[in-house]
Amino acid sequence: MKVAWSRWMKQLKQYSERTSAVQFSKQSRFFVLVFIWLVSVVRSAEHPQFFRGLNLNGPAVTIDGKAWEGSESKTYVCTDRAFENQQIPLSPAVDPELAVMIRSSRYGGSRVELQAVPPGMYTAFLYVWEDNNAETYSIAINGKTVLKGFNSGKQGNWKKLGPWQTTVNKDQTLLITSNGGTANFSGVELWQGNYDGLGEPIREEDLAFFETCIRPLLVTNCYD
């Protein structure tokens, strides 16, 4: 999705740089109409923003280009026991930064309270993994079960669970808990707004470019 968006933006910028008077071909009209549809779908939803990443039992890391806080962060509370084993091969395999985060986890209570979260709608993801034998457990956010009967799988398996939408109230806290078998919580990823997790959200500057440079071309050349 992100690659396709970049390609479309590059081609459209080339159109705008050449001329605003040349009539589009039928093929070009089809292209820009598809682009309009894409933008309308994106703009129909609230634009999500990365809010916080938290490595629950390890150092600050950078994951997918986003800076994550480490276990020394003052923006959460977790009294679960710390566990780390960087020697276990992960499945599926991941880059070194993500591997460090996944294999340094918390267990034995599985209760993480994020603090200093301004009121509003958020999307949460939870990274979990299995260091030995499969466990089955459920996940709840702010007391509401969002995942039932999750099986952690064999040794080395990991999963990015979510997305889960939730609302943070005036207390500015977001609580993630598990119930059932032993869960290894590795990290929490939190976005402001509704985020499907499928790719990087379209940037505001690209949408602004469409409005100022592309829409006038469409009005001039594509509307009958």
Burial class (CB in 10 A: 0-12, 13-18, 19+), 56: buried
Query: What confidence tens digit (pLDDT) does each residue in 88-98 have?
Result: 999 999 999 99
pTM over 0.75: no
Q: Rounded mean pLDDT of 36-65? A: 79
Query: What confidence tens digit (pLDDT) does each residue in 140-162 have?
Result: 999 999 999 999 999 999 999 99
Give the C-alpha separation, 140 to 183, whole Å. Answer: 12
Under the banding of pLDDT at 50, 70 and 90, the label for residue 30 is low
Instruction: Kindly report the average pLDDT of the chain as a whole number.
Output: 84
Which residues are within 8 A (CB) of 144 and not within 5 positions of it... i.e. 6 or more apart?
166
Domains in the chain and their CATH numbers? 2-46+204-221 (no CATH), 49-192 (2.60.120.430)
- Is residue 17's pLDDT more than 60? no
